[in-house]
Structure 1
Amino acid sequence: MTRTVVTGIGVAAPNGVGLDTHWSSTLRGENAIRRITRFDPSPYPIRLAGEIDFEVGGRLPSRLIPQTDRMTQLALVASDWALADAGADLAGMPSLDAGVITSSSAGGFEFGQHELEKLYSKGPNHVSAYMSFAWFYAVNTGQLSIRHGMRGPTGVFVTEQAGGLDAVAQARRKIRGGHRLMLTGGIDASLCPYGLAAYLASGRVSLGDDPDAAYLPFAQEATGSVPGEGGAILVLEDADAARRRGAEIYGEIAGYGATFDPAPGSGREPTLRRAAEIALADAGVRTEDIAMVFADAAAVPELDRVESDAIVKLFGPHGVPVTAPKSMIGRLSSGAAALDLVDALMALRDGVVPPTVNVRCPAPGYDIDLVIGEPRPARGTAALVLARGYGGFNAAMVVRSAG
């Protein structure tokens, strides 16, 4: 069977723009959660977030900037970096051989809010014509496809944090089906009043004001997560084709599984563990082959309990190092799992597990080996990434090192 590998990566994250900057900050355990600066958060119960310190001016054609939401601008720049990193010659391949599949959680919320403000304060004649697509869930896929002339398979997954894995898995299917190159992953950016209202509706967001104590996955003091913006765009190719052209290979997308939780109150068990089992079987690896687990890390006690139970049932008590580097940057919605995939590939390359910050120890009874405070040396060639989306979506993905 065709092996699908990652040959290019573009990262936009609160703790670093660009792969090397993000990864070095992650290994240092630098907390990028801080008070929101993009607008005055004083009237809102959420005042902390993982913001990206980044100006798009000069990085994109000026005509694109008024047409696009911040999330799309970040995705466009990250896609430029990913394709350059891959050394891909798009001009030398048929446009139908390259496609784009991304994930999205909210679409262009900030753009939409600004245009709604114009509608209600000034009237419909003041609403931008670009509103017709800039707010839409599929806009990143469309804009990336247009910018890079990629006319092959396209799509978008709207499964919140699970979407980053779902999109990569679908891109892998397209590579296995014979397409030469796929851009995939996810980037989200909804740090605006409209976005905060949506986060609040989930009931899963911390209202704390201390950046070092607001987002504490698996801790006894956990009260919810902190929102963030950003994510990652990846280039996928067939392994043999990538080697023939001399591409650097970060690692393999080796296995994937997805499930959907039963309805609340049904009495049936959550299915995150089943998603992980499917991914392990798809990759053809055993639990003892997994060097580390990148956790979904909801920081909601009942959800943390579900995840820790799933990990313990798979690996045994304290059976595998578990990490949640998103504790440094917040949960990035559809961008979170794509960035975790990147971190997993880098961790396998460097033989190190990045830390979970701010958490002193897991809550009693969780029985997971949470990597806290400092990076930990690791040996192994495979990592498991877990992700859950609001509404019951579960996804799991196994990545394998390039060696």
Structure 2
Amino acid sequence: MGVLAPTGLGRDEHWTNTLDGVSAIGPVTRFDADRYPSRLAGEIPRFVAEEHLPGRLLPQTDHMTRMALVASDWAFADAGVDPAALPEYGAGVVTAASAGGFEFGHRELENLWGRGPEYVSAYQSFAWFYAVNTGQISIRHGLRGPAGALVTEQAGGLDALGQARRDLRRGQRMVLAGAVDGSPCPWGWVAQLSTARMSRRTDPTRAYRPFDPEADGYVPGEGGALLVLEREDAARTRGALDDGRWYGRITGYAATFDPPPDSGRPANLLRAARAALDDAGLRPGDISVVFADAAGTRAEDAVEAEALRGLFGPYGVPVTAPKTMTGRLSSGGSALDVATALLALRDGVIPPTVNVARPLPDHTLDLVTSPRRGPLRTALILARGHGGFNSALVVTGPGGPPSDPTQP
């Protein structure tokens, strides 16, 4: 895995700060947000692209893409894979994004209207595009296998992994998948404000509190995770299962779409979760922990709590939302949740949900608000994207139930 998050650069720093409950939410620094009603974000500190990437890439890439390129480097290094040594079509890449390089596009629009069209970068033709991370990663590493890009907002990180799993089941041996996302610029900010779901509080400890009686919205953030997925037989052949490099298996995945808000029909998050468990061949009692979507609004939190109650019963499973430390990272958020869940299974500890001192009793959730140790075998990760997208992914740790060795 390759992780860039507000909670840390790299897997280890992110995991340490997450277990310590260190929140990275604070005032926006990447632009002047004083004129906006929401002024907090989960920004990645100390990320200097020039320290990680060649100078030729910087003029043609958005901040989001630079982070994704670094995450791809770290993911391959963590997996012990040299992409240049792979067969020509030996690896593919699938990423997700909520919109693309908003900051790059914002800057070039300023040039267009303030200075004239001759000052607009030719790289604007692709740097803003939602598929740009997939393209730039494939070029950087020479990945000529199946490629794709998903646009389902917060659910996108899970959907990218689900698509990569399909590619593996069709015969591909390796796929780099996940999402690194974020748009900390005025244009991206206005786009998120238009949903009326962002918190307007200025106290970082009170602004994003899912499942809390005072929940009033979310805080945006930037970052995410990319993971190297392989068919198990391929991973075994190259010795990856023998050297401690692997974190677990994707055993179940499903996605649904909500009906129109005025239809009177219920949301379909519960259907997605049930379908993912069915795909994994598991029962609700087999799940050790749920990583919640944690939308942060009273109405959406109630929908998720109802779905969890319907699947597990009241207080039926430990539930956590470590994204309270990072904010919602658009498509990168659910990919980061998968990476965090795999680390939780590895170390046998559930990371905390911070800043939620007294979960709303009506939700009847066993919300983990301080690190909780215990045997963990299987995690369910939930994600919802604005506009009605629901996704659910089941992962098991190395000590989880055995699987078909020909499957990822």
Fold-level similarity (TM above 0.5): yes
The whole-number CA distance in structure 2 between the counterparts of 1:229 and 1:255 is: 27
Deviations 1:212-254 (A, max 9, x none): 0000000000000000000001100011221222212100011
The whole-number CA distance in structure 1 between the counterparts of 2:214 and 2:287 is: 29
The whole-number CA distance in structure 1 between the counterparts of 2:33 and 2:250 is: 39
Which SS does the other structure have where 2:149 is aligned? Answer: strand
Deviations 1:382-402 (A, max 9, x none): 100000000000000000001
The whole-number CA distance in structure 2 between the counterparts of 1:286 and 1:207 is: 40
Question: How is 1:144-223 mapped onto 2 (pairs within 5 angstroms)?
Answer: 144-223=137-216
For structure 2, the residue ranges without an aligned partner over 5 or more in a row are 400-408
Deviations 1:173-203 (A, max 9, x none): 1111111111100011201111110110111
Question: How is 1:341-352 mapped onto 2 (pairs within 5 angstroms)?
Answer: 341-352=338-349
Cα offset, 1:172, TM superposition: 0.8
Counterpart of 1:23, as a letter, is W
The whole-number CA distance in structure 2 between the counterparts of 1:88 and 1:279 is: 29
Identify the residue that residue 391 of structure 1 maps to in structure 2.
387
Deviations 1:259-292 (A, max 9, x none): 0000011011100000000000101111111000
The whole-number CA distance in structure 1 between the counterparts of 2:70 and 2:334 is: 19
Question: How is 1:170-319 mapped onto 2 (pairs within 5 angstroms)?
Answer: 170-247=163-240, 248-319=245-316
Question: How is 1:59-98 mapped onto 2 (pairs within 5 angstroms)?
Answer: 59-98=52-91
User: What is the TM-score of this pair, normalised by structure 1?
Assistant: 0.97
Counterpart of 1:143, as a letter, is Q
Contact persistence 2:337–2:381 (CA under 8 A) = yes
The whole-number CA distance in structure 2 between the counterparts of 1:227 and 1:381 is: 31
Which SS does the other structure have where 2:135 is aligned? Answer: helix
The whole-number CA distance in structure 2 between the counterparts of 1:145 and 1:364 is: 48
Question: How is 1:96-115 mapped onto 2 (pairs within 5 angstroms)?
Answer: 96-115=89-108
Question: How is 1:302-341 mapped onto 2 (pairs within 5 angstroms)?
Answer: 302-341=299-338
The whole-number CA distance in structure 1 between the counterparts of 2:375 and 2:281 is: 18
Contact persistence 1:289–1:380 (CA under 8 A) = no
Counterpart of 1:36, as a letter, is V
Q: State the number of aligned residues.
A: 394
Counterpart of 2:203, as a letter, is D
User: Which of 133, 136, 152 is the matching residue for 2:129?
Assistant: 136
Counterpart of 1:256, as a letter, is Y
Contact persistence 1:15–1:25 (CA under 8 A) = yes
The whole-number CA distance in structure 1 between the counterparts of 2:304 and 2:281 is: 22
Cα offset, 1:76, TM superposition: 0.1
The whole-number CA distance in structure 2 between the counterparts of 1:58 and 1:213 is: 34
The whole-number CA distance in structure 2 between the counterparts of 1:192 and 1:104 is: 16
Cα offset, 1:361, TM superposition: 1.6
Counterpart of 2:261, as a letter, is P
Which SS does the other structure have where 1:40 is aligned? Answer: coil
Q: CA RMSD in A?
A: 0.8
Which SS does the other structure have where 1:226 is aligned? Answer: coil
User: Which of 1, 15, 32 is the matching residue for 1:23?
Assistant: 15
For structure 1, the residue ranges without an aligned partner over 5 or more in a row are 1-8
Identify the residue that residue 403 of structure 2 maps to in structure 1.
none
Contact persistence 2:92–2:176 (CA under 8 A) = yes
Task: Identify which range, 102-111 or 242-251, moves more after superposition.
Answer: 242-251
Which SS does the other structure have where 1:202 is aligned? Answer: coil
Contact persistence 1:291–1:378 (CA under 8 A) = no
The whole-number CA distance in structure 1 between the counterparts of 2:139 and 2:173 is: 18
Which SS does the other structure have where 2:194 is aligned? Answer: helix
Counterpart of 2:87, as a letter, is P
User: What is the TM-score of this pair, normalised by structure 2?
Assistant: 0.96
Deviations 1:359-394 (A, max 9, x none): 01211310010001x101132311000000000000
Which SS does the other structure have where 2:31 is aligned? Answer: coil
Structure 1 segments, 4+ long, off by >4 Å, are: none
User: Which of 21, 30, 45 is the matching residue for 2:37?
Assistant: 45
Counterpart of 1:402, as a letter, is P
